[in-house]
Amino acid sequence: MENIHSLTTETVNPDTRDIDRVDTLTMLKKINNEDKKVAAAVEKELPQIAKAVDLMKERFLNGGRIIYAGAGSSGRMGTLDAVELTPTYNVDPSLAFGLMAGGKEAMYRAIEGAEDSKELAIQDLKDVNLTDKDIVIGIAASGRTPYTISALEYGNQVHALTIAVTCNGESEMAKVASISIAPVVGPEVISGSTRMKAGTAQKMVVNMLSTATMIASGKVYQNYMVNVQPTNEKLVIRATNMIASITGVGYDEAYELLKASDMSVAAAILMHEKHVDKDKAHAALSACHGKVSEALQQL
């Protein structure tokens, strides 16, 4: 069995050896002090993240899918990021999703042995018909999870874009993936509890990957999420406020614009700014891959 004690994420943190013997406030300060290191670790990986986003954008605009693969906490992190892209940016769930070692049930409880199965990862990717258009983002704090390594290896075989998100430098996943993103956050507050700093770093990275790809793909206008799906009262209010803020109209007029646009913030903006009907607004958006700034210029 491989010795994992040499991995950064598995080493013992000397600053928290007494964490079970201090008062609550001191305990929390120790956790907070460690958390402060995460953003700095992610900052060092920005060039790699940028490289990944540029390649992701090309594939996503050409119909490629964003597929996260992982086990345990890492797998849940990827699935969470993918799921949020639908309400936030109106991305079809078939274009961004997570694959968990052990399947959907593993989201809620540990499935013993699933992360050790290389065959399971291959089958999961075959089941979704992975192609060379797609993007496979493997997430594992250690960088050595067999399921996730196998997902990247199979991704390479079909010429998908493969990206490794780990928290150990020079990991096996880093060697397999086309692009390696590895914020090294150091030993955890509780030794080996990688749902803490490593998990936070992973969330920051996948948020950057997906958000920057959505921005580059025209899902954002200025810094507004104009492709939001107004599927509940809160989101309807948010969408209406966006239209009011961008166009300068009052709330009531913004709400009428939203309704007239078939509940599309982007179309509502075009309708107001260019005095066109909803059909012309939607057609302009389709011609510009949803980019509001380009549609405004064309109209």
Per-residue model confidence as pLDDT tens digits over 33-52: 999 999 999 999 999 999 99
Active site residues: 84, 115
Structure tokens at 192: 């080996």
Q: How many CA atoms lie within 13 A of 225 on its CB side?
A: 19
Q: Is residue 103 part of a domain?
A: yes
| Phi and psi at residue 162, to the nearest 5° | -115, 130
* Domain span holding position 259: 233-298
Q: Is 68 helix (H, G, I), strand (E, B) or coil?
A: strand
Regarding whether 24 and 121 lie in a shared domain, the answer is yes
Domain boundary pick from 164, 183, 216: 216
Regarding whether 126 and 97 lie in a shared domain, the answer is yes
How far apart CA 148 and CA 269 sit, in angstroms, is 42
Output the CA–CA distances (angstroms, integers) from residue 234 to 223, 243, 254, in the order listed: 19, 15, 15
| Phi and psi at residue 187, to the nearest 5° | -65, 145
Q: Is 24 helix (H, G, I), strand (E, B) or coil?
A: helix
How far apart CA 194 and CA 180 sit, in angstroms, is 18
pLDDT at 3: 52
Number of compact structural domains in the chain: 2
pLDDT at 1: 39
Regarding whether 184 and 51 lie in a shared domain, the answer is yes
Residues of the chain predicted below pLDDT 50: 1-2
pLDDT at 109: 83
Domain boundary pick from 216, 244, 259: 216
Domain boundary pick from 152, 183, 216: 216
Q: Is residue 60 part of a domain?
A: yes
Regarding whether 257 and 182 lie in a shared domain, the answer is no
How far apart CA 205 and CA 294 sit, in angstroms, is 28
Residues forming beta bridges with residue 165, ordered by sequence position: 139, 181
Regarding whether 152 and 25 lie in a shared domain, the answer is yes
Regarding whether 134 and 40 lie in a shared domain, the answer is yes
Q: Is residue 114 part of a domain?
A: yes
pLDDT at 97: 96
pLDDT at 229: 87
Regarding whether 260 and 195 lie in a shared domain, the answer is no
Q: Is residue 227 part of a domain?
A: no
Regarding whether 114 and 33 lie in a shared domain, the answer is yes
Regarding whether 141 and 58 lie in a shared domain, the answer is yes
User: Of 271, 246, 245, which is closest to residue 256 (Cα–Cα)?
Assistant: 271
List the CATH number of the domain containing 184.
3.40.50.10490
User: Of 295, 69, 29, which is closest to residue 166 (Cα–Cα)?
Assistant: 69
**Burial track 203-230 (b if 16+ CB lie within 10 A, e otherwise):** bbbbebbbbbbbbbbbbbbeebbbbbbb
**DSSP state for residue 224 in the 8-state scheme:** B
Q: How many CA atoms lie within 13 A of 138 on its CB side?
A: 37
pLDDT at 183: 97
Regarding whether 267 and 199 lie in a shared domain, the answer is no
